[in-house]
């Protein structure tokens, strides 16, 4: 009797354990399925995409994220990004965002990187001017000019443009003074039409230098030009005084007084008592 009761209790315990296990399993499955259900499909980069490149079908993949983890302006359809140009580098797995893509009809390449109302202008640089290669697309720079304004005896440096965006770097083939081909690095800047004119003129007036700046620093300053004399202590800048104007007043001329010519020779006066004799001698 006791044995039968123990067996019965054992079977009941096994049954209850199975029921509890099954209930827990179903609960976990339901919870897992509930988390997946409200997930949102978005498109991300399947490969690294360079600036100016056209986004292709193979560059896009669809993933599922919970709504709370998504950027507000993420794209959800492949058709929204395929065929558009990248205006900023896009890393593999990164969300496609509107600020990283050109307009839908802008195409790809350099023209797609230029917003309406702006211009892209390239300047020749070297390792020094290009800040040792740290000037890359997406950075911001100031443009400085060193030259002799209006034939001034001293060189001056002035800031021509501030907080200018760099949209491309590259190289172009030119010929040197000997006619031999050489590769010249160039940097393309994004400027307004007015600044494009200033930069073009500046390249003809002296030496251009780029100054790399923090992209978060958007403050622009009115800086005075710096000349050579201000670099050395105790040396004042020479002051160049203009020559006085030539007088146009007529000069009064004086007539020389004629001198009466004296007779040649000499005379000797001899006095003897009350008698005076004058004797003349010729030279």
Per-residue confidence (pLDDT) for residue 36, from 0 to 100: 46
Q: Where are the domains of the chain?
A: 40-112, 114-230
> What confidence score (pLDDT) does residue 244 get?
57
Top-confidence residue, 175 or 73: 73
pLDDT value for 191: 92
pLDDT at position 234:
63
Q: Which fold has domain 40-112?
A: Type Iii Antifreeze Protein Isoform Hplc 12 (3.90.1210)
The proportion of the chain whose per-residue pLDDT surpasses 90, expressed as a percent, equals: 20
Q: Up-side HSE of residue 259: CA atoms within 13 Å toward CB?
A: 3
Residue 280 confidence (pLDDT): 67
Candidate from 157-171, 181-195, 202-216 with smallest mean pLDDT: 181-195
**pLDDT-derived band of residue 254, with 50, 70 and 90 as boundaries?**
low
pLDDT score recorded for residue 193: 94
pTM assigned to the model: 0.52
Which of 143, 151, 111 has its CA nearest to residue 124?
143
For residue 131, what pLDDT is reported?
Answer: 61
How confident is the model over 196-220, as pLDDT tens digits? 999 999 988 888 888 888 888 888 8
Between the alpha carbon of residue 4 and those of residues 10, 13, 136, the distances in Å are: 10, 14, 85
Check residue 173 and give its pLDDT: 44
3-state class (DSSP) for residue 175:
strand
Whether 243 has a pLDDT exceeding 70, the answer reads: no
Percentage of the chain modeled with pLDDT above 70:
67
Most confident of 25-34, 37-46, 245-254: 37-46
Looking at 15-24, 154-163, 181-190, 273-282, which range is the least confident one? 273-282
Pairing assessment for the beta strands 181-191 and 156-175 based on DSSP bridges: antiparallel
Res 196: pLDDT: 94
In contact, 86 and 55? CB cutoff 8 Å: yes
Whole-angstrom distance, CA of residue 112 vs CA of residue 87:
7
**Between 228 and 205, residue with greater pLDDT:** 205
Question: What pLDDT, in 10s, does the model give residues 111-151?
Answer: 777 888 889 898 887 765 556 667 888 889 999 999 888 77
């Amino acid at each position: 009797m006791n044995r039968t009761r123990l067996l019965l209790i054992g079977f009941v315990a096994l049954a209850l354990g199975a029921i509890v296990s099954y209930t827990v399993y179903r609960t976990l499955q339901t919870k897992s399925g509930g988390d997946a259900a409200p997930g949102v499909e978005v498109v991300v980069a399947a490969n690294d995409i360079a600036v100016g490149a056209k986004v292709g079908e193979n560059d896009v993949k669809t993933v599922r994220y919970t709504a709370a983890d998504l950027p507000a302006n993420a794209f959800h359809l492949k058709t929204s990004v395929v065929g558009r140009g990248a205006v900023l580098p896009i890393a593999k797995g990164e969300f496609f965002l509107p600020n990283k893509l050109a307009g839908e009809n802008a195409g790809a390449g350099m023209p797609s990187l230029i917003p309406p109302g702006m211009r892209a202008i390239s300047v020749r640089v070297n390792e020094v001017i290009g800040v040792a290669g740290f000037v890359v697309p997406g950075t911001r720079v100031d443009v400085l000019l060193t030259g002799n304004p209006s034939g001034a005896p001293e060189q001056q440096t002035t800031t021509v443009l501030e907080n200018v965006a760099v949209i491309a770097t590259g190289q172009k083939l030119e010929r040197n003074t000997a006619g031999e081909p050489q590769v010249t690095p160039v940097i393309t800047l994004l400027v307004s039409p007015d600044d494009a004119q200033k930069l073009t003129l500046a390249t003809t007036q002296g030496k251009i230098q780029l100054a790399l700046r923090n992209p978060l620093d958007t403050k622009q300053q009115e800086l005075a030009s710096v000349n050579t004399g201000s670099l050395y202590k105790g040396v004042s800048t020479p002051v160049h005084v203009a020559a006085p104007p030539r007088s146009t007043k007529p000069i009064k001329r004086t007539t020389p007084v004629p001198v009466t010519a004296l007779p040649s020779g000499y005379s000797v006066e001899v006095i003897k008592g009350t008698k005076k004799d004058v004797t003349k001698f010729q030279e």
